[in-house]
Structure formats: structure tokens, C-alpha cells
Chains A and B, each alone.
Chain A
Amino acid sequence: MAALLPELLSLASGTLRMATPLILCAMGGLFSERSGIVDIGLEGKMLAAAFAAAAAAAVTGSASAGLAAGCGAALLLALVHGFASITHGGNQVVSGVAVNMLASGLTITFGQAWFASGGATPALPASARFMTVVGGHNILVLAALASVPLTWWVIGRTRFGLRLRAVGESPRAVQAAGVSVAGLRYRAVLACGLLTGIAGTYLSLAQSAGFSREMTAGQGYIALAALIFGKWRALPAFGACLLFGFVDVLAIRLQGVAVAGVAVPVQLFQVLPYGLTVILLAGFVGRAVAPKAIGLPFVGGR
């Protein structure tokens, strides 16, 4: 029994580490989606950020420069998504998918052009990464933890949050109240860009020591699933992220475990988080009530 406590602590710690990018992405997606802009492009923004952060850190040797570059890349893609779906009223899912494909292609192309190692960036020294600060966790993990109450507070307790929720439910009401619908949605999309930028930076500068192609591996989609499972609310979405993080850790720990003398294929464990996503979204979401105006382009006037 005495060995159980450290084991649990290590499990919790691992869960938090695996959940960090999910939490940041889900909180970012929450801003975007509560304002009525579907964001299927969390994955692409995170991937672009991971690459930009690793590339900048490799060149400058500074983790902060990496963070700035990562956030910059994600913000840029957020603006592309905003331009297509807010300014031009385009289909938000199509725009989001385009962001994902753009990020997937560009990171590899630029990676190959600049570093000539199959789309990956060079391995980074500790000085160019975010290393442990408190209790075995680095500052980006703490940022993810802080983003949850911050998101809850901004959405629920501030003027901006009230307007953001209103624009996701009834943009006409917001327009009639004399507030710019496009302005609010751009701010929401940019908030999303910033948070996914931090998430991507975490992947390449904290969780790993450099960028490798397609390193997000669907975590953006899983964050989106967590957001929907959490019914677009900060605390439940945070809980869902932890659940996914926990399953991730479990999948790693259980690798190589033999059941009844037969080695279970590694792939079976690796599929756990994705399988869980499908099961949760299909079976347990119940009647998730999305923001009423989500996905609908807003055309002003009459």
C-alpha cells in the first residue's frame, strides 16, 4: 500500500502534463465557439505554433522567442480563419479544415527547407526549452491551469464575456445593441489563436525537445471533443481534458502489459484516447446545447 501514493501522484502529474495542450486548446476553442465561430482548426493552429516555436528557439536559442513565434503563427492562422468566416461569411468548417491542411503542409515544407531533416527541427538544448519550475511542472503547464479560471471569469463575469456569449446566441441582438458583431468575433478568434499558440509551443518546447512532423496527432480534435463534451463551459471542459489526459497516460503505462500471458498489442492502448472521444461524443454527451448562432455567418443590415 505504501507504494500506491507515489504511484498515484506520478499518475496525476502525468495526466496534467498530457492534458496541458488539450486544456489550452479547449479554452481557446471555448472563446471562439461561444462567439459563434466553429473552430475545427485548433489542430492546425497548434501544429503551426509548435513548428514556429521550435524553429525560432532553434535559431535564437531562446524559449521566450519561441513562445512569441508560436503565438504569432497561431494568431496569423486565427486571422485567416476570421477573415474567411467573419469578414466574408464563409463556411467555418471548410475554413477550419483549410487551416489544418495549410499548417500540415507548410510546417513540413518550411521544416525541410530550413533544417533539411524530414520536416523536423533540430533537437533543442535545455536552455531553449521551458524547463521545470514548480513541483515538477514548467510554466506553460501552470499557464494552462491558470487559463481555466481565467476563461471562466472572463466569460462569466466581464462585459466582454457577456457580449461574447450574446454574439454566439443572437448576433442580431448584439448588432441591435450597437456593438460590432465582427469586432467581437475577431477578438474571440484571436483569443483562441493566443491560447492554441501557447499549446503548440508547449508541445515542441516543453513536452518534446523540438518539432517533428504532425506532432499534434489529433490533439486539437480531442480538445474540441472535450469542449463539446464539457458543453462549452470552462470547468466541465477542463474536467474532460483531464479525463483525456488520464487515458493518454494510461495508454503509455499499459504498453507492454501482458493479459493472461498474452502481450496486448501496443496499438490497442494507443487507440484508447481516440476511442474514448468517439464513445463520449456519441453516447454520453446527451443533449449538448451549442451556442444558438454557432457556425452561422452573420450578415448585417435587414
Chain B
Amino acid sequence: MSPGQTAQAAIELRGVSKSFGPVKAVRDVSLAIPDGAVAGIVGENGAGKSTLMNLVYGLVSPDAGEMLVRGREAVLSGPGDAIRLGIGMVHQHFMLVDTFTVAENVALGAEGSALLRPSLAAARRALGRIADEHGLRVDPDAIVGDLPVGEQQRVEILKVLYRGARILILDEPTAVLTPGETDALFRVLRGLSAGGVTVVLVTHKLREIMAATDGVFVMRGGRLVASRPTRETSPGELATLMIGDHGRSVLLPDATSRRRPAVQPEGFPGDAGVHRPHAEAAAASGPRSTQHAVSLDLRAGEIVGVAGVAGNGQGELLEVLAGMRPLAGGRIGLGGREVTPAAPCDPAAMRALGVAHVPEHRHRHGIVEEFTAAETAILGYEADPGLGRRRLDGRAAERSCAGLMARFDVRPPDPRHLSGRFSGGNQQKLVIGREISARPRILLVGQPTRGVDIGAIAAIHREIRALRDEGCAILLVSAELDEIAALADRVLVMLRGRIAGEVPADADPETLGLLMSGAGRERDAA
């Protein structure tokens, strides 16, 4: 009972399968997307959504099955074929040439003539026309790399429309957007749909499916497990379909998951000077300094969430506090110890002071992909006397890793497995397990569940809460507002390297969104 079987389908898939080596990414998927609809495809990471869309766009070819575009069979040997059939794709990672202007990016691959000047003139005219029709306005002569992310995405959509696309696929389009930009995107998609463009929205965010689509297809483990008209379903039903019952509470934070800390800062036993670390005026230096005078207090037994659109200095803040980035001014007080530009502190010394760090970029800073799990599990703690005094005791490392793997449910539980071969979720559990096992007084966490499947998200959130309840002070940076809402006791919003404001954990998304986009401040000023 796929939605709109009666109407002419813009895209119809019949029994499509695709494997990558032993991995069956897409298995026997049949679906029909009605013309002019906004269709949603949901599923957790690794459910096969992206592969399915890459098949539709000709980036990969199917092992079995067929595809019909507006009722006619289509065999795609590449994106060029898809474009000729009026299929356009807006990728999660933008396919833009940063050094080119908007007009050059739009014209690339669709130049009308061998000479550039007339092609660019045509692109400029078309951009003007599309801007008038759909309200998608971007300066054609701006350099794409200089544009904010929301506008870069608009350039991607413009590129696709310029090629005459009537079927628009968007792969996780809101991952990089503020709530305000997300709403603007949805308005654009509605307008396109009203103009007869078929929109396929690939996402794992149920709220967006409910807000933006007419019909929704649910994928799990490479299969299409359900299709529903959006108005006849609910986020709860979709979540259940996506992952079964265990993930519900993660996706739909409710009051119980946000209980107060078991240990109130005032009631924490021990020396307040030790357990009241705080950072003041942390300022990062660097080639592209995004950090300006940030002041914050982090108390024992609380999780402070840092929200903000990616790239507003949250990552730098974590790196400064972890000692990875030098302090340009101000000071960080950690119990009795003071860190200033004149008395810097490297990551090892920070760690010795009880600061553990789960870095934002797991692959770059969290693990070494070529190391075994046991080696990754002692990174940064390799000087521990339990691992041998002079010679590193590999067996001890493997034993302790096996213990960590049992406690944090890392699969496969094999300390000799290469770190890079674990799934994202299991890599992250390994990193979080390593940092938590060090029994830190302060835990810095960046994007703890990025690229992590939903089962692991629940486990990671449980561990972070448990650590907080033991009295650890936790600073959580996340791009996922749902995650911040589910974990944080209070929320700081960062914008352009500053703290734009603090809100309670149960603040509504609009308030947060306004702060994240800077509109809040402008409104206050007005």
C-alpha cells in the first residue's frame, strides 16, 4: 500500500538490490513515489537509504531489479543519465567547487557552449528566473567557499533546478542547518512541490519527516519495511518501524529521560575548589580563530550542553579545554591549577588533571584506524603503570580492553580487531569507554553519537548520564538538538565564537534556533 499507487509514479523501483562485497546494502526494494509529492525516506544509519538514492541517481548500479522513471524503464550508467531524465540530487556533502563563483558552479557540466562567457550569462539569467519563481536568491558572483552553509545548500538546489530537474533528491539536507534555515528549506521544498517538482527527502530525523512530507518510506537493514501517508502515521510508529522498541526513548526525549542530576553541585561531598572547575575567557588562537572570550562554569555532577550550528567555535572550545589548542588569553581554572597563555597545559597534563576528552573528530583524534582495539583503548593512557613499567605489556592492554569491551558492549568483543574495522557506533563506544574508564573529574564530549546507530546511541547516552550521576562535570558539544535536550542540564548556545546565551534544558526549539542563528540578539537590539 505505497502512497499514491493510482497516480503516475515519478520514480518506481521494482525488486532493486545492491551489495558491496559481503554487505547487502539494499535488498529487494520496491517502491513508487508519486509525481509532485514530497516523499520521505527514513532509516537509521546504515539502513541503506543513501545507497538506494545513489542507485536512483546512477552513482552506483543495481545488482538486480529495475527502475522506472515516469512509467518508462530506465537503466542508468551514471549521473549524466539521471540528469537527462530530470533527476537531480542534493548531496549531504555538498558537491561544490569552493573556489568557483555561484554561476560557475551552476553552469559546471551544463554549459551550453564551448565558450564560457555565453554559458555563464545563461546561468546568470536562469538564476534570476529561478529566484523570481521560487524565491531562491543567491548572488551569482559570490565565491561559493565564502557563503554560509545554508546558502551553499541553496546553490546545490539551484544547480539541480538549472539542469531542469523535475525529481529532486535531498540526502540528509538539514544536518548542517539551523532550525531557521531548516524551516526555510522546507518552505522552498513545498513551493517546488506545488510547482510540480517531485521531492525525495532522505533523513533520519522524524520531526522533519512529519513536518515536510506527504508520504514516508521506512528502511531497516537494507529493506523497505513500511510505507505510510505521513498524516496517518506518528513519530512513535516510525521510530518503532525503524529500529524496534529499544530506540524510542532516544528519539523522543521525554521528561523522564531528562531527570535532574542525582548529585547536586552544592551537595557534592568534597572540596568545592577541586570539584568546581571553571573556564574563563578561553580564547583560541589559530589560522582561523573563531573563538572570542568565552566564559563558562562547569560544575561537578552536571551536563552542560553546547548547542550551535557547526563551525561556530564549539570544536575549538573543546580543543582549548583539552589542551590541544593554545590559549590566546584569559585563564582556565581547574581546581587548584590555573592554565593561562603563559602557563599552558598540554593534553597529557590536562589528562593528568582529570580531564578526559571524547574528541569531535573520532577518526582524526579519537582512534588510530590501523591500531588494534587494545592499542586504541590505551591511547593517551599508555603510561599507566598497570601496562608495564618500561616495556608495554600487550597482554595487560588486551585484558583491560576485553574488560572495557564487556562493560561498554563493544562488538565484536575482540581486542585484536583493527580499530578502523569497527562500525562507527562501536568505535565511539571504545573511545567513550576509554575516557570514562579513566574516572575523569571532567569529561569533554564532542558529537558523541555522530555516525552512530540508534542502538549504540542509547548505550552512549546511558553511560554519559551514569558518569554525571557519579559527580563528573561534563561539557557536551553536539549538533543534534535532540541529543542536547535529552542529556543536558543547561544549555549554552555558541554563535561566531561567543556564547550567545544560556537557556534551560527544556527550552523550546524556536528559542534555541533564534539564538543559534543570531536572530535572537538582533531582536533584542531592535
Contacts and interface: CB of A to CB of B under 8 A. Distances in A.
A165 B83 CA distance: 22
Given A174-B109, A178-B109, A302-B50, A166 B59 contact: no
B95 A173 contact: yes
Contact of A169 (B91, B99, B114, B119): B99
9 smallest beta-carbon distances between A and B, as pairs: A177-B109, A178-B80, A176-B95, A173-B95, A159-B111, A178-B79, A170-B97, A178-B83, A179-B109
B198 interface: no
B78 A169 contact: no
Interface string B94-108: 011111100011011
Given A177-B159, A302-B60, 18 more contacts: A156-B116, A157-B115, A158-B115, A159-B116, A159-B119, A166-B100, A169-B98, A170-B95, A172-B93, A173-B105, A174-B108, A176-B91, A178-B78, A178-B81, A178-B83, A292-B98, A301-B54, A302-B54
B97 A157 contact: no
A166 B97 contact: yes
Contacts of A162: 104, 107-108, 111, 116, 119
Contacts of B93: 172
Contacts of B392: none
A168 B156 CA distance: 19
Interface residues of A, number: 25
Contact of A175 (B79, B97, B99, B113): B79
A158 B108 contact: no
A163 interface: yes
A162 to B, nearest CB: 6
A162 B104 CA distance: 8
B83 A161 contact: no
5 contacts: A162-B111, A170-B98, A172-B93, A172-B95, A179-B108
Interface in B401-448: none
A160 B108 CA distance: 10
A173 B97 contact: yes
Interface of B: 50-51, 54, 59-60, 78-83, 89, 91, 93, 95-100, 104-105, 107-111, 113-117, 119, 159
A68 B50 CA distance: 50
Nearest to A178: B80
B115 A159 contact: yes
Contacts of B91: 176
A169 B93 CA distance: 15
B114 A160 contact: yes
Nearest to B112: A159
Interface in A236-293: 292
Contacts of B99: 165, 169, 292
Contact of B80 (A165, A179, A292, A300): A179
Nearest to A293: B97
Nearest to B51: A302
A180 B58 CA distance: 13
Contact of A173 (B59, B96, B114): B96
Contacts of A174: 108-109
A159 B114 contact: yes
A13 B270 CA distance: 85
Which of B59, B82, B98, B99 lies at the interface centre, i.e. has the most chain A CB atoms within 10 A of its CB? B99
A174 B114 CA distance: 17
Which of B82, B108, B113 lies at the interface centre, i.e. has the most chain A CB atoms within 10 A of its CB? B108
B69 to A, nearest CB: 15
Which of A161, A180, A302 lies at the interface centre, i.e. has the most chain B CB atoms within 10 A of its CB? A302
Contacts of A166: 97, 100, 108
Nearest to A302: B54
B59 A170 contact: no
B60 A301 contact: yes
A153 to B, nearest CB: 10
B302 to A, nearest CB: 41
Contacts of B80: 178-179
Contacts of A160: 114
A175 B159 CA distance: 14
Contacts of A302: 50-51, 54, 59-60
Contact of A177 (B98, B110, B117, B119): B110
B116 A177 contact: no
A166 B114 CA distance: 15
